[in-house]
Amino acid sequence: MPSESTPLIQQVPVAEHRERYPHRSLRRYCTIALTTVPLLTLLIILFCIAIGGDSDLFGEHESSRLDFGTKEVVGRTVPHAAWPESDGLSYKALKKILSETPNPDKAREWSKYYTAGPHLCGKNLSQAEWTRDKWLDFGVPQADIVSYEMYLNYPVDHRLALLDGDDVVFEATLEEDILDEDPTSGLPDRVPVFHGYSASGNVTAQYVFCNYGTYHDFEDLEKAGIDLKGKIALVKYGHVFRGLKVKRASEMGMIGVVMYGDPGDDGEMTEENGHKPYPDGPARNPSSVQRGSVEYLGIAVGDPTTIGYPSKPGVPRQPLEGKVPDIPSLPISYAEALPLLKALNGHGPNASAFNEYWQGGGLGYKGVQYSIGPTPPETRLHLMNEQDYVITPAWNVIGIINGSVSDEVVVLGNHRDAWIAGGAGDPNSGSAALNEVVRAFGIAVEKGWKPLRTIVFASWDGEEYGLLGSTEWVEEYLPWLSEATVAYVNVDGGARGPHFTASAAPLLNKAILEITGEVQSPNQTVKGQTVRDTWDGYISTMGSGSDFTAFQDFAGIPSIDLGFGAGPNDPVYHYHSNYDSFSWMDKFGDPGFEYHATMAKILALLTAKLADEPLVQFNATDYAVGLDKYLQSVKEKAKSSDMAALSKSTFHPLEKAIEQFQHFAKDFDASAIALSELASTQMSPPSLAQLYQGIRVANTKYKLLERQFLYAGGLDGRNWFKHVVFAPGRWTGYAGATYPGLVESIEDKNQTNVDRWVEIVEGTIKKATDLLIPG
Ligand SMILES: *[C@@H]1O[C@H](CO)[C@@H](O)[C@H](O)[C@H]1NC(C)=O
Ligand SMILES: *[C@@H]1O[C@H](CO)[C@@H](O)[C@H](O)[C@H]1NC(C)=O
Ligand SMILES: *[C@@H]1O[C@H](CO)[C@@H](O)[C@H](O)[C@H]1NC(C)=O
Ligand SMILES: *[C@@H]1O[C@H](CO)[C@@H](O)[C@H](O)[C@H]1NC(C)=O
Ligand SMILES: *[C@@H]1O[C@H](CO)[C@@H](O)[C@H](O)[C@H]1NC(C)=O
Ligand SMILES: *[C@@H]1O[C@H](CO)[C@@H](O)[C@H](O)[C@H]1NC(C)=O
Ligand SMILES: *[C@@H]1O[C@H](CO)[C@@H](O)[C@H](O)[C@H]1NC(C)=O
């Protein structure tokens, strides 16, 4: 067990409160500049003003005057060479190392290591130590284990049986088949099927098929007059985070939940379509079970007993109520759901008689009618779930390469813990890729390179239970992270199929679109195709479901989450099942491990771009475009709601604020690019120093821009979430909601609250605008 202190991180200085926008010193530079080279000086003055230096000379809001001077340089890339503090290697030489080092065979080796044995949160210290030692070996100057004391559960016992009166007609094994072809499926210490944070309980009751268990599904059941009280819910996985299914079932008066993954959600790769199941083919193995957390992710994340502060030894623990389920739940395979579904046949209405969301179950060919139930009184389920709740240490690994600019930091993270011994896709395809990234940066460091900004690598523990490791770490280092962090880059399932996916804060869209254009696709239909060429460029908004959540939604740090996933025609990914194993990955998921290596290259180059380009590679205009687009969808929502009272002018203040923001964002981006372009072409050191001072001001503003969208009061009923633009949906958990405060007030038909949220959001947009306004 590692020491409870965190020596490494405590060495990182938490900058004292200081003037964030050094107008005064910038003004001094501009003044000095006036007395030197006349033409250059004039340009410098103009740019200093545009970026937010001294506006006295021209009065307020004069940045538009710069347009004539900046248009022609906007869009060109910024050469790296001239930054005075960059060290050791040219940016070009660095990029060469980062794109040539990641290696599929190495990634395969790391994958094999991580997936050799169980690594449930808090259960495998040796993997944390191994990771730390590897990173040090690779040449990262500092790496250490940072531990927390997590409240969580481990499985003790369970039972699921179908009863006819007092007779047991079906006893579920609650086991996945042991496969000769897949050694970790048969480990004696393999992890049982269970739900993280599920309630212990022992119930016997009739049951009801509740579709995906979404909020709307339960509304539909209520409308159809189905009696849910005192019953057990049988639900399919999918559409919303599993914990929210349990939450809603409990609110409907149900007393237990059984979940299974229906092959109707497996795309084309089904047995019904003639595909053999794993291990003989790409279809889902019928005995596979999806484990997972049932924490109420839409409400809060992290250790549920320490919401808002880190789980250090001895801290006060909060009550669990409202954050985790109060009724038991169990995950099962579709093979074991079959007898339960069939016992419902002919009882209650058919799902097919409901709306479109209820169509498409994939077990019709096995004789399932998808009748909703409830089952007759004598047909009952016995559901027993026994969990041991403990407070146990969990271990993040944190590696640091100090940069020249101490208060600008880029964090790259992946979680290490898995629900099963495997986890070859989730998360250890990301872990294998991360190791290749670290190895590549280590080579650069050994060649004498020092980044401009500090780079932090993180291997989180406890993501699976509820983003525990990352959330507690962000809560502990919040002052330093808010002060210094430029961006957070996340990879979870880095390679589970061939399709590139990204979700990001809009500030980062530009960087990922550019970087994917520099990395070769592992699957080229035309020679030379990059990942960008084989990707549609769609970037989704940030929701939750991985370790970026605390960074983005709590700390206001622009974040991005990357992966290669499976499409409907790819081998079925056995999410949170024993078959998310090395054997599956080696044969079906990424044979050859080329996607692992490609992910490593993308992550390495993206991190370098964010950490080592003189100008922070953000685009504020993209944020403004996003804000406008999200507002359109709120207006659509308002229109389709029956809130007659919502007048046309309700959203007018927001439209105006966004327009203003967009105006200044455009000027700011253009000026920042022009400034760095100028810096890259000026060779005279005194002028350069002045230009860099201007770039530094621009970088500080880019760094702090996302923070302006935090609202200290938090979202209604879940005030840990501070971001007013992005949050997980209240009833989705994974999927991102935009302007959640507004949308939820509309859903609640509360005009007063709509007006309140218009004002709150408007306030944040104005703060963001003020940050970008020169002077
Ligand atoms: C990195 O910077 C911190 C803070 O300045 C310092 O305490 C630490 O020793 C540095 N690490 C290395 C390896 O230089
Ligand atoms: C920890 O992980 C390693 C590597 O995957 C594995 O070999 C070992 O069995 C695990 N240890 C425990 C205690 O589960
Ligand atoms: C669960 O309840 C049943 C009766 O409904 C009882 O026979 C059994 O012993 C209970 N099991 C546990 C572990 O409490
Ligand atoms: C449900 O569908 C089956 C055929 O799939 C049909 O035989 C049955 O009558 C339907 N039940 C109801 C209540 O419509
Ligand atoms: C490669 O791309 C082709 C064409 O898009 C596709 O049919 C094939 O399945 C892909 N193979 C892999 C391994 O991604
Ligand atoms: C920034 O984003 C805007 C809006 O998407 C776009 O028009 C502009 O070209 C971008 N600028 C750069 C330098 O990428
Ligand atoms: C509507 O929202 C306001 C806060 O803006 C709150 O005080 C009030 O209780 C809400 N009304 C209802 C019916 O929930």
* 440 has a pLDDT exceeding 70: yes
- Residue-level pLDDT at 68: 19
Ligand 2 lined by 582 (C-beta under 6 Å): no
Rounded distance between C-alpha atoms, residue 761 and residue 767, angstroms: 10
Q: What's the CA-to-centroid distance between 113 and ligand 2, angstroms?
A: 9
Residues facing 413 on adjacent strands: 458, 490
CA-angle at 300, arms to 630 and 234, nearest 5° = 90
Ligand that lies nearest to the alpha carbon of residue 364, given by its number in the listed order: 4
Q: How many CA atoms lie within 13 A of 184 on its CB side?
A: 24
* 682 has a pLDDT exceeding 70: no
470 is a catalytic site residue:
no
Which are the contacts of 325, defined by CB distance < 8 A and separation ≥ 6?
A: 197, 198, 199, 243, 246, 247, 250, 257, 294, 296
Pick from 285, 287, 254: which is nearest to 383 by CA? 254
**pLDDT-based confidence at residue 680 (cuts at 50, 70, 90):** confident
Q: What's the CA-to-centroid distance between 569 and ligand 5, angstroms?
A: 10
Q: How many CA atoms lie within 13 A of 206 on its CB side?
A: 17
Q: What's the CA-to-centroid distance between 342 and ligand 4, angstroms?
A: 13
What DSSP line would sit under 561-580, residue for residue?
EEEEE--TTSPPP-TTSTTS
- The model carries a pTM of 0.91
> Cα torsion at 57, 63, 66, 70 (round to 10°)?
140
Ligand 2 lined by 127 (C-beta under 6 Å): yes
23 is a catalytic site residue:
no
Q: What's the CA-to-centroid distance between 328 and ligand 3, angstroms?
A: 14
Assess contact for 440 and 607: CB atoms under 8 A: no
Assess contact for 268 and 568: CB atoms under 8 A: yes
Ligand that lies nearest to the alpha carbon of residue 667, given by its number in the listed order: 6
Ligand 7 lined by 751 (C-beta under 6 Å): no
- Average pLDDT of the chain, as a whole number: 89
Residues of the chain with pLDDT > 90: what percent? 81
Which class does domain 38-60+617-772 fall in? mainly alpha
Strand 726-728 vs strand 736-738: parallel, antiparallel, or unpaired?
antiparallel
Ligand that lies nearest to the alpha carbon of residue 759, given by its number in the listed order: 7
Which residue's entry shows tokens 């499409």? 567
For ligand 7, pick from 748, 750, 757 the residue to mutate: most ligand atoms within 8 Å of CB: 750
For ligand 2, pick from 110, 115, 127, 154 the residue to mutate: most ligand atoms within 8 Å of CB: 127
Query: Which two tokens mark 585?
Result: 């990955």
DSSP 8-state class, residue 500: E
Among residues 293, 723, 744, 762, the one annotated as catalytic is: 723
* 295 has a pLDDT exceeding 80: yes
Pick from 278, 197, 268: which is nearest to 581 by CA? 278
pLDDT by residue (tens digit) across 695-722? 999 999 999 999 999 999 999 999 999 9
Q: b or e along 446-455 (b: 16 or more beta carbons within 10 Å of the residue's beta carbon)?
A: eeebbbbbbb
Higher pLDDT, 497 or 34: 497
Ligand 3 lined by 10 (C-beta under 6 Å): no
Report the CATH fold assignment for 87-150+393-612.
Aminopeptidase (3.40.630)
Which class does domain 152-389 fall in? alpha beta
Rounded distance between C-alpha atoms, residue 677 and residue 679, angstroms: 5
Q: Please compute the mean of the pLDDT values over residues 258-268 and round it to a whole number.
A: 97
Assess contact for 104 and 593: CB atoms under 8 A: yes
DSSP 8-state class, residue 592: T
Rounded distance between C-alpha atoms, residue 355 and residue 338, angstroms: 23
Residue 636, burial from CB neighbour count under 10 angstroms (0-12, 13-18, 19+): exposed
Q: Give the closest residue (by CA) to ligand 2 atom 3.
A: 117
- Residue-level pLDDT at 333: 98
Work out the widest C-alpha separation in the chain, in whole angstroms: 96
pLDDT by residue (tens digit) across 126-178? 999 999 999 999 999 999 999 999 999 999 999 999 999 999 999 999 999 99
Ligand that lies nearest to the alpha carbon of residue 130, given by its number in the listed order: 2
Pick from 90, 325, 309, 289: which is nearest to 196 by CA? 325
Ligand 5 lined by 525 (C-beta under 6 Å): yes
Q: Residue 38: count other Cβ atoms within 10 Å of its Cβ.
A: 9
Number of H-type helices and E-type strands within the chain: 23, 18
Q: Residue 279: count other Cβ atoms within 10 Å of its Cβ.
A: 18
**pLDDT-based confidence at residue 648 (cuts at 50, 70, 90):** confident
Q: Give the closest residue (by CA) to ligand 7 atom 5.
A: 753
Ligand that lies nearest to the alpha carbon of residue 349, given by its number in the listed order: 4
Distance of CA 400 to the CA centre of its chain: 21
**pLDDT-based confidence at residue 71 (cuts at 50, 70, 90):** very low
Which residues are near ligand 1 (CB < 6 Å)? Answer: 11-13, 141-142, 402
Q: Give the closest residue (by CA) to ligand 1 atom 10.
A: 402
* 401 has a pLDDT exceeding 60: yes
Q: Give the closest residue (by CA) to ligand 2 atom 10.
A: 117
Q: Give the closest residue (by CA) to ligand 5 atom 4.
A: 525
- Is the bond preceding residue 427 a cis peptide, omega within 30 degrees? yes
Rounded distance between C-alpha atoms, residue 307 and residue 720, angstroms: 7
659 is a catalytic site residue:
no
Ligand 5 lined by 25 (C-beta under 6 Å): no
Higher pLDDT, 435 or 775: 435
Rounded distance between C-alpha atoms, residue 600 and residue 435, angstroms: 8
Assess contact for 300 and 324: CB atoms under 8 A: no
Among residues 463, 472, 594, 762, the one annotated as catalytic is: 463
Task: Please state the domain extents for the chain.
Answer: 38-60+617-772, 87-150+393-612, 152-389
Ligand 5 lined by 261 (C-beta under 6 Å): no
Residue type at 278?
Y
